[in-house]
Structure 1
Amino acid sequence: MQTPARTGTANASRLAGLALLLVGLAYPFVVYVGLEQLSPRLFALLLGALWLARLCSGKQTPLSNTVAATALLFCLLLGLADEPALLRWYPVLISLALLGLFAGSLYSGMPIIERLARLSEPELPPAAVRYTRQVTWVWVGYFIVNAGIASALALWAPLSWWTLYTGLIAYLLMGLLFAGEWLIRQRVRNVT
């Protein structure tokens, strides 16, 4: 049975995680609309507060601590520099963090996709385990390409292009990858 303190910590962790997810989804549009009215320091303060709340709440893993510390360093740099161009690098940072998470899982322990698959099917057959490893590699490739495109747009494209890609196209591509993987998984499942 969880104590009230543990329940409160778990709820705080979930709330901070949800807030970071929502901010991450809205971030490109907030930058696009708010860049003229809000200083990069304010962005850094708000984003940093969310990451700090996430870091201080609940049970953390070394990887989640590393991601949060990296995001906090980014916020510190953004706050000190107060440079609007740095705002465009946050999606690159998140892609690189996810790349590290997925790639790291291939070399230490169980790949991320296998962990997710085992939530609904704890006893995976060997063919499914191989398949989940391959899918994890596909996600690694996606995050490499996504970080590359977001970097190029941050460096050379107009803000509107950067916003369109990081706020819409990247998520559509991610959705297509999820859907395509789901369709292939159904076919693989029916063959085995």
Structure 2
Amino acid sequence: MKKPELSKLLSVLLILLYPLLIWSAHGEVEPRLLAMLLIAIAALRLLTVRVSRNLRWTGVLALLLAAPALYWNALLPLKLYPVAISAGMLAVFGYSLFHPPSIIERMARLTDPDLPPFAVAYTRRVTQVWCLFFALNGGIAFATAMWCSPAVWSMYTGVISYAVMGLLFGGEYLVRLYVRRQHHA
């Protein structure tokens, strides 16, 4: 595996495991030291996301949240990282609804540049569904960060939200197959 690919893989793994790492270290390690993990994520994101400028902001968000965690030795800014990611993704997906093509349409055109009108409408609807997901996910992540135990926060942001995201991916794929069949019949 090439070095840039390894860095990208490490970056994705750190992001996926971030809530579980924060939870397991809570009470054992000072938040100031945990902020170093967020800085590592930021550095990896900023170094490995040269292709996609839309994802570079994740590194900037991580740095912005790590700063108060370092300064005040506080855990809350570290727990707000998943909220910031959801808010950022909502902004990117939402922006694409007002400035077409939508994000999902852009992804679909990578494999099929000549999308029929029904597919364009469908990709717009899927982008709207993802916006709803990011809004709800960010709200729940915020609520768990503010008012729940670290274990509940970690369970939601590190397990449940990923499971729901996977169900959304899988469900959308099944709906897409159905929609294609309906329009090709």
* TM tier, smaller: 0.7 to 0.9
Partner of 1:123: 114
Partner of 2:16: 25
Counterpart of 1:87 (choices 78, 82, 97) is: 78
Could you tell which deviates more after superposition, 87-96 or 61-70? 61-70
**Percentage of identical aligned residues:** 40
Partner of 1:143: 134
Indicate whether 1:102 and 2:93 are aligned: yes
Amino acid at match of 2:108: A
Partner of 1:52: 43
Could you tell which deviates more after superposition, 165-174 or 59-68? 59-68
Structure 1's 49 and 29: CA in aligned 2 closer, same or farther, altered over 3 A?
closer
Partner Cα distance (1:16, 1:105) in 2:
29
Structure 1's 148 and 87: CA in aligned 2 closer, same or farther, altered over 3 A?
same
Deviations 1:85-141 (A, max 9, x none): 332211111111111121122223421111221222221111101100110000000
Indicate whether 1:114 and 2:90 are aligned: no
The alpha carbon displacement at 1:58 in A equals 5.7
> What TM-score, normalized by structure 2, do the two folds share?
0.88
Partner Cα distance (1:116, 1:63) in 2:
13
Indicate whether 1:36 and 2:22 are aligned: no
Contact 1:16 1:50 in 2 (8 A): no
Contact 2:14 2:41 in 1 (8 A): no
Contact 2:94 2:128 in 1 (8 A): yes
Partner Cα distance (2:15, 2:152) in 1:
17
The alpha carbon displacement at 1:155 in A equals 1.1
> What TM-score, normalized by structure 1, do the two folds share?
0.85
Could you tell which deviates more after superposition, 58-67 or 43-52? 58-67
Structure 1's 182 and 57: CA in aligned 2 closer, same or farther, altered over 3 A?
closer
SS at match of 1:110: coil
Partner Cα distance (1:183, 1:58) in 2:
30
Q: Which runs of 5+ in 1 are unaligned?
A: 1-7
Counterpart of 1:76 (choices 67, 70, 76) is: 67
Structure 1's 46 and 165: CA in aligned 2 closer, same or farther, altered over 3 A?
closer
Amino acid at match of 1:21: V
> Would you say how many aligned residue pairs link Structure 1 and Structure 2?
182
Q: Which runs of 5+ in 2 are unaligned?
A: none
The alpha carbon displacement at 1:18 in A equals 2.5
CA RMSD of aligned residues (A): 2.0
Indicate whether 1:171 and 2:162 are aligned: yes
